[in-house]
């Protein structure tokens, strides 16, 4: 739930009795699509802000944290990624990060609501600068069915850049979907799923359920990574990786250190630190 007065956009997390506010200068855009309501605001200190159904999706100031951590750890853990699928990710920031890797040959992005992409192109053009890359391909429709229909062994890495597990995104957190991802992955493939904040009550079960559902779907290894994200509930976020016969504890550290592109947050030390599991999270996921 969110509120807007003359100066402040406030997202209220009623279940946690907390809220997050940004001072805004004006509303730039709002439209209702067949799936959701997309709003964009100009803020005083966080750049443009996108909200969907009143929930903050991203800001111009801090989105690099999320996009870099949703993409680079998995890509540098895989031995030789060439083909990548992104389910969701309509703002295209994750797509941009994936395409920074020169060895990537093909990326498919499956987004149910094309309007999220088009609005992002208008108000977050820096995130969409790789949309015209010849390696980038778009499918607009049901990502769950799209993954179910994918040819076996089609992808090396699958990034599930989804919203919270409610409404159309709920199925993206289920065992059947993870099983379809497993089938679509080539040998030693990796999936990564955003799994919300480890500090909130409900997402604790989301993280535990992700590990459980991924393992029951047939993945051999799972690992949750933690990173800051100021505009999301509690300011602390997570993503969970799962490997198809692929251990996740090691990554191509030398390749990270010699990467031919710039990252604002991600590096080899951040990768190692994000893989460390706090004691309370061990209790949540049962490690």
Number of H helices, E strands in the chain: 9, 13
Structure tokens at 207: 């993280």
Alpha-carbon span 159 to 173, nearest angstrom: 12
Q: Where are the alpha helices (DSSP H) in 218-267?
A: 253-257
Is residue 103 annotated as part of the catalytic site, yes or no?
A: no
Alpha-carbon span 226 to 279, nearest angstrom: 13
Check: CB of residue 229 under 8 Å from CB of residue 237. yes
Residue 118: in which H helix or E strand, if any?
Answer: helix 114-123
Q: Which residue's structure tokens are 């999301």?
A: 232
Alpha-carbon span 214 to 59, nearest angstrom: 30
The answer for residues whose C-beta is within 8 angstroms of residue 254's C-beta and 6 or more apart is none
Rounded to 10 degrees, the C-alpha dihedral 96/97/102/107 comes to -60
Catalytic residue (choose from 62, 91, 113, 161): 161
Catalytic residue numbers?
161
């Amino acid at each position: 739930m969110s509120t807007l007065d003359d100066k402040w956009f406030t997202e209220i997390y009623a279940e946690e009795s907390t809220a997050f506010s940004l001072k805004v200068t004006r509303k730039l855009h709002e439209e209702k699509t067949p799936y959701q309501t997309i709003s964009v605001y100009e803020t005083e200190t966080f750049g443009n802000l996108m909200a969907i159904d009143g929930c903050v999706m991203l800001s111009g100031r801090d989105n690099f944290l999320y996009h870099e951590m949703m993409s680079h750890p998995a890509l540098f853990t895989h031995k030789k990624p060439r083909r990548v699928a992104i389910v969701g990710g309509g703002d295209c920031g994750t797509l941009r990060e994936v395409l920074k890797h020169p060895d990537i040959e093909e990326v498919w992005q499956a987004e149910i609501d094309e309007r999220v992409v088009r609005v992002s192109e208008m108000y977050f053009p820096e995130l969409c600068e790789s949309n015209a890359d010849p390696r980038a391909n778009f499918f607009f429709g049901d990502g769950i069915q799209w993954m179910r229909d994918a040819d076996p062994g089609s992808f090396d890495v699958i990034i599930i850049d989804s919203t919270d597990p409610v409404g159309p995104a709920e199925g993206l957190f289920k065992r059947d979907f993870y099983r379809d991802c497993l089938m679509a992955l080539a040998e030693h493939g990796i999936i990564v799923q955003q799994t919300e904040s480890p500090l909130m009550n409900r997402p604790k079960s989301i993280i535990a359920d992700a590990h459980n559902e991924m393992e029951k779907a047939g993945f051999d290894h799972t690992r949750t990574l933690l990173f800051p994200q100021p505009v999301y509930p509690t300011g602390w976020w997570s993503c969970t990786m799962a490997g198809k016969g692929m251990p996740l504890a090691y990554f191509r550290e030398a390749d990270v250190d010699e990467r031919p592109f710039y990252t604002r947050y991600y590096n080899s030390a951040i990768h190692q630190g994000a893989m460390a599991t706090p004691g309370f999270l061990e209790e949540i996921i049962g490690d």
